[in-house]
């Protein structure tokens, strides 16, 4: 049985041969064949251990895919039967035990678009500062710290903040406006992150060429860097919208209500929203078991909306990255 | 003349972008201010010590009890148990993606992890409620499937993508020459990962783990729907719990505006906010203090 240090078990009298052995064994290791000689079992064992552990890693990665698959599978199988034209275009009826989810769809769309209107300009401008203007130092460190910590604030705390500041202090009331502002504050770090990545992936030669022609920094940013980074920035926008669309806790106290028969007519109206509707039906509805199919249906619509937007952004971004590399 | 106005415009633009970039900090500061403004009044009725370590949370009884000890224990236990699942799973997936997977496989699995991250939390909570809870109830013969274990399982869904994608970045950015040096010395791929790649990227992986746990402790909808909601210190894996965010989300709607209960919920929010802030500051500290700078990290 050889040990982990095979050279010690070597024949002391044949140094040259052992060197040769070493080379040949390494060469055969690389080509994946079984090596021969005194190291055979060590090499085999190392390979077997490696194969076992790599397969464990492979399984771990597979577990994620399977988990995502199972969730989507359950939602589709149970939800697809609930989805039809009436479901998508009618308000709920009979104390939300029948009818559709139109107000929720409208509510979620207006909230997430509102959040984008808030976060997109601020996020992009922040990213421009971080990538084009900022110089390393304490100020930059502080700004980054702020962004990272904002990204880590729990969603329910955003809800509390929205309630205390937008709803109460600024007197927006429970409304689309308050909800969109709260969601906007929450999606800001997502948009900053994506925009900054997009800006940084613009090659420096672009900037140098523009500056070399006598353009100012701002002209360079506006005419050269931004257009080149725009697709990536827009991808970040899509990711931000989808994040806002799926969130529940921030809108619970700021925008969403159990039930309203009306579609919103202004940004000061309170609304229904898909995620909150799922929560309400599943936990506090009048007939939780009887409305199961409506819950699955609503969840499926929400997943379709969010994952659809994400899938578009991911595919688009992969294409952009490939183009950048080429 | 033209140069002056050009220069003026330049400075103005730079100032403008700087001011906008301060927005994130401003929001963070305002969150702190308003949380404290609405939360502090409860401490006129009850001491901070009694609030944090008080064993009973009966906000609506008369006289009410505002002790969030059981809620804190609930939050911590759910987070710890979920990290037992999510840390190994997330880090192993990251190693697989960065080191082992063929480029083709990587390009499929990576988006899957990103899609996992984008699943709305309410959907995961719903899934835990209608699929996992009945399953647990039948298999283990429990009184309720809505419990600590179920919540931890669903929470790991939320933190695996965070842990995985940040770790993967760290592992992927280990310089190739380090790996090549190790392989050239005759180490196997596994030995290289174990003794070279992981030590070189440990700061990134630690950051990932902490941010993942921070995500888990702050996650609301999952624990609101799945954790069972009993405000007591859990004694077993299958006891229902009531983590901090669940308590806030469930009770805020019925708490009278600016009453004691309302202030107590904001104070609960302060505690939660401090938890995540500390997690995030530690993560930030690690990633800056032990920054990966090529060969120097080893």
For A168, the closest chain B residue by CA position comes to B257
Query: How would residue B167 be classed by pLDDT, with cut points 50, 70 and 90?
Result: very high
Judge if B189 and B141 occupy the same domain. Answer: yes
What residues of chain B lie within 8 A of the CB of A246, using their CB? 118-123
DSSP conformation class of B140: H
Question: Tokens 């806030």 identify what position?
Answer: B248
In this structure, of A262-266, B122-126, B169-173, B238-242, the range with the lowest mean pLDDT score is A262-266
What residues of chain B lie within 8 A of the CB of A145, using their CB? 25, 281, 284
Judge if B52 and B21 occupy the same domain. Answer: no
Cα separation, B23 vs B246, in Å, equals 29
Residue B250 or A7, more confident: B250
As for the ipTM of the complex, it is: 0.92
Q: Strand (E) positions, chain B?
A: 57-58, 65-66
Judge if B6 and B55 occupy the same domain. Answer: no
B66-107 tens-digit pLDDT: 999 999 999 999 999 999 999 999 999 999 999 999 988 888
Query: How would residue B5 be classed by pLDDT, with cut points 50, 70 and 90?
Result: confident
What residues of chain A lie within 8 A of the CB of B157, using their CB? 67
Closest-CA residue to B50 (of B71, B74, B67, B72)? B67
Q: Helices in A201-288 by DSSP H: which ranges?
A: 204-212, 217-220, 226-246, 249-252, 274-283
Cα separation, B126 vs B133, in Å, equals 10
By Cβ distance, the residue of A64, A129, A158 closest to B18 is: A129
pLDDT score of B294: 53
pLDDT score of B110: 87
What residues of chain B lie within 8 A of the CB of A157, using their CB? 31, 35, 218, 269, 272-273, 276
pLDDT score of A289: 81
Q: Which of B3, B96, B166 to probe the A interface (max A CBs under 10 A)?
A: B96
Q: What is the CATH number of the domain that holds B285?
A: 1.10.3720.10
For B226, the closest chain A residue by CA position comes to A283
Judge if B157 and B257 occupy the same domain. Answer: yes
pLDDT score of A35: 46
Give Cβ neighbours of residue A313 (< 8 Å, ≥ 6 apart). A235, A238, A239, A242
Q: Which of B15, B24, B258 to probe the A interface (max A CBs under 10 A)?
A: B24
For B125, the closest chain A residue by CA position comes to A279
B283-298 tens-digit pLDDT: 988 888 776 655 544 4
What residues of chain A lie within 8 A of the CB of B20, using their CB? 122, 125-126, 129
A109-165 tens-digit pLDDT: 999 999 999 999 999 999 999 999 999 999 999 999 999 999 999 999 999 999 999
Which tokens go with A94? 């009979």
Decide if A69 contacts A56 (C-beta within 8 A).
Answer: no
Give Cβ neighbours of residue A94 (< 8 Å, ≥ 6 apart). none
What residues of chain B lie within 8 A of the CB of A53, using their CB? 190
What residues of chain B lie within 8 A of the CB of A188, using their CB? 23-24, 27
Average pLDDT over residues A171-186: 94
State how far residue B108 is from chain A, nearest Cα, in angstroms: 10
Judge if B79 and B164 occupy the same domain. Answer: yes
pLDDT score of A3: 39
By Cβ distance, the residue of B34, B160, B211 closest to A165 is: B34
Q: Is the pLDDT of residue A34 over 70?
A: no
Judge if B54 and B12 occupy the same domain. Answer: no
Residue A25 or A252, more confident: A252
Judge if B12 and B107 occupy the same domain. Answer: no
Peptide bond into B63 cis (omega under 30): yes
In this structure, of A14-18, A78-82, A147-151, A248-252, the range with the lowest mean pLDDT score is A14-18
For B252, the closest chain A residue by CA position comes to A253
Task: Note whether B130 contacts A282, CB cutoff 8 Å.
Answer: yes
Task: Note whether A58 contacts B131, CB cutoff 8 Å.
Answer: no
Task: Note whether B269 contacts A252, CB cutoff 8 Å.
Answer: no
State the CATH class of domain A83-325: mainly alpha
Strands B65-66 and B57-58, bridge-based pairing: antiparallel
Q: What is the DSSP annotation of A33-72?
A: PPP-STTHHHHHHHHHHHHHHHHHHHHHHHHHHHHHHHHH
Average pLDDT over residues B158-170: 93
Decide if A195 contacts A236 (C-beta within 8 A).
Answer: yes
DSSP conformation class of B238: T
For residue A99, the cross-strand partners are A92
Judge if B113 and B22 occupy the same domain. Answer: no
Judge if B10 and B86 occupy the same domain. Answer: no
Judge if B136 and B55 occupy the same domain. Answer: yes
Helix, strand or coil, per DSSP, at residue B12: helix
**Average pLDDT value for chain B:** 90
Which tokens go with B149? 């274990």
Decide if A35 contacts A29 (C-beta within 8 A).
Answer: yes
Closest-CA residue to A228 (of A136, A315, A128)? A128
Percent of chain B exceeding pLDDT 70 equals 96
Task: Note whether B123 contacts A71, CB cutoff 8 Å.
Answer: yes
Ranges of each domain in chain A: 6-79, 83-325
State how far residue B161 is from chain A, nearest Cα, in angstroms: 9
Task: Note whether A152 contacts B131, CB cutoff 8 Å.
Answer: no
Q: Is the pLDDT of residue B181 over 70?
A: yes
Distances (CA, A) of A188 to A177, A247, B24, B155: 16, 14, 8, 23
Q: Which of A27, A65, A82, A149 to probe the B interface (max B CBs under 10 A)?
A: A149
By Cβ distance, the residue of A128, A149, A303 closest to B17 is: A128
Q: Is the pLDDT of residue A238 over 50?
A: yes
pLDDT score of A29: 45
Range of the domain at B22: 2-40
What residues of chain B lie within 8 A of the CB of A247, using their CB? 120-121
pLDDT score of A7: 41
Judge if B18 and B149 occupy the same domain. Answer: no
Query: How would residue A326 be classed by pLDDT, with cut points 50, 70 and 90?
Result: low
Residue A244 or A8, more confident: A244
pLDDT score of A12: 40
Query: How would residue A100 be classed by pLDDT, with cut points 50, 70 and 90?
Result: confident
Which tokens go with B6? 């050009």
Q: Which of B8, B115, B145, B288 to probe the A interface (max A CBs under 10 A)?
A: B115
Q: Is the pLDDT of residue A4 over 60?
A: no
Distances (CA, A) of A77 to A134, A296, A300, B157: 51, 9, 10, 21
Cα separation, B53 vs B130, in Å, equals 34
Which tokens go with B79? 């987070």
Decide if A288 contacts A195 (C-beta within 8 A).
Answer: no
DSSP conformation class of A255: T
pLDDT score of B77: 95
Q: Which of A48, A249, A297, A317 to probe the B interface (max B CBs under 10 A)?
A: A249
Average pLDDT over residues B22-30: 95
Task: Note whether B37 contacts A279, CB cutoff 8 Å.
Answer: no
Q: Helices in B96-144 by DSSP H: which ranges?
A: 103-118, 121-127, 133-140
Average pLDDT over residues A178-189: 96
Q: Is the pLDDT of residue A69 over 50?
A: yes
Q: Is B254 exposed, middle or buried (0-12, 13-18, 19+ CB in 10 A)?
A: exposed
Percent of chain B exceeding pLDDT 90 equals 68
Closest-CA residue to B151 (of B22, B231, B93, B237)? B237
Closest-CA residue to A185 (of A164, A158, A167)? A158
What residues of chain B lie within 8 A of the CB of A26, using their CB? 186
Q: Is the pLDDT of residue A297 over 90?
A: yes
By Cβ distance, the residue of B20, B122, B127 closest to A125 is: B20
Crossing angle (nearest 10°) for helices A155-162 and B244-251: 40
Q: Is the pLDDT of residue A18 over 50?
A: no
Judge if B245 and B188 occupy the same domain. Answer: yes
Closest-CA residue to B82 (of B20, B143, B151)? B151
Q: What is the DSSP annotation of A75-111?
A: HHHHHGGG-SHHHHHS-EETTTTEE--HHHHHHHHHH
By Cβ distance, the residue of A60, A155, A307 closest to B118 is: A307
Percent of chain A exceeding pLDDT 90 equals 62
State how far residue A65 is from chain B, nearest Cα, in angstroms: 6
What residues of chain A lie within 8 A of the CB of B34, using their CB? 160-161, 164-165, 169
Number of structural domains in chain B:
2
Decide if A152 contacts B218 (C-beta within 8 A).
Answer: yes
State how far residue B55 is from chain A, nearest Cα, in angstroms: 23
pLDDT score of A10: 39
């Amino acid at each position: 049985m050889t040990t982990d240090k095979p050279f010690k078990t070597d024949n002391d009298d044949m140094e040259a041969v052992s060197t040769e052995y070493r080379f040949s064994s390494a060469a055969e290791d690389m080509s994946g064949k079984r090596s021969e000689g005194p190291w055979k079992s060590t090499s085999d064992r190392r390979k077997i251990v490696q194969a076992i552990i790599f397969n464990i890693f492979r399984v771990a990665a597979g577990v994620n895919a399977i988990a995502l698959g199972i969730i989507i599978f359950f939602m589709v199988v149970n939800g697809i039967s609930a989805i039809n034209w009436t479901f998508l275009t009618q308000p709920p009826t009979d104390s939300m035990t029948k009818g559709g989810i139109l107000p929720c769809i409208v509510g979620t769309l207006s909230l997430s678009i509102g959040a984008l209107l808030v976060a997109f300009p601020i996020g992009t401008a922040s990213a421009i500062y971080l990538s084009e203007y900022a110089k390393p130092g304490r100020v930059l460190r502080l700004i980054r710290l702020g962004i990272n910590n904002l990204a880590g604030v729990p969603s329910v705390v955003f809800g509390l903040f929205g309630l205390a500041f937008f709803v109460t202090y600024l007197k927006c009331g429970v409304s689309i406006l308050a909800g969109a502002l709260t969601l906007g504050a929450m999606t800001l770090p997502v948009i900053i992150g994506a925009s900054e990545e997009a800006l940084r992936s613009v090659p420096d030669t672009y900037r140098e060429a523009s500056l070399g022609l006598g353009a100012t920094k701002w002209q360079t940013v506006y005419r050269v860097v931004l257009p080149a980074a725009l697709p990536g920035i827009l991808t970040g926008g899509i990711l931000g919208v989808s994040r806002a669309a799926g969130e529940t806790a921030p809108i619970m106290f700021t925008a969403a209500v159990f039930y309203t028969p009306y579609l919103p007519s202004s940004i000061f109206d309170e609304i229904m929203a898909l995620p909150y509707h799922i929560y309400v039906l599943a936990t506090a509805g009048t007939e939780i078991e009887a409305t199961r199919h409506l819950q699955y249906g609503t969840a499926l619509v929400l997943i379709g909306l969010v994952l659809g937007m994400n899938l578009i952004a991911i595919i688009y971004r992969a294409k952009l990255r490939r183009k950048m590399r080429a | 003349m033209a140069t002056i106005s050009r220069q003026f415009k330049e400075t103005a633009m730079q100032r403008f972008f700087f001011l906008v970039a301060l927005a994130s900090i401003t929001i963070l500061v305002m969150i702190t201010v308003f949380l404290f403004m609405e939360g502090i009044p409860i401490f006129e009725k009850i001491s901070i010590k009694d609030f944090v370590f008080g064993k009973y949370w009966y906000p609506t009884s008369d006289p009410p009890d505002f002790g969030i000890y059981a809620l804190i224990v609930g939050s911590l236990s759910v987070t710890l148990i979920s990290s037992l699942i999510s840390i190994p799973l997330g880090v192993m997936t990251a190693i697989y993606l960065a080191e082992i997977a063929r480029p083709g496989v990587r390009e499929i699995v990576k988006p899957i992890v990103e899609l996992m991250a984008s699943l709305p939390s309410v959907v995961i909570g719903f899934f835990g409620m209608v699929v996992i809870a009945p399953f647990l109830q039948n298999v283990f013969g429990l009184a309720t499937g809505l419990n600590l274990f179920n919540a931890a399982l669903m929470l790991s869904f939320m933190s695996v993508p965070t842990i995985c994608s940040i770790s993967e970045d760290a592992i992927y950015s280990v310089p190739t020459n380090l790996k090549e040096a190790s392989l050239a010395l005759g180490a196997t791929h596994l030995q290289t990962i174990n003794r070279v790649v992981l030590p070189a990227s440990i700061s990134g992986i630690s950051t990932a783990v902490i941010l993942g746990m921070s995500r888990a402790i702050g996650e609301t909808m999952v624990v609101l729907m799945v954790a069972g909601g009993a405000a007591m210190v859990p004694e077993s894996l299958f006891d229902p719990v009531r983590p901090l965010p669940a308590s806030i989300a469930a009770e805020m709607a019925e708490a009278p505006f600016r009453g004691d209960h309302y202030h107590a919920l904001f104070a609960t929010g302060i505690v939660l906010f401090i938890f995540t802030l500390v997690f995030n500051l530690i993560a930030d500290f690690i990633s800056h203090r032990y920054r990966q700078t090529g060969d120097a990290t080893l």
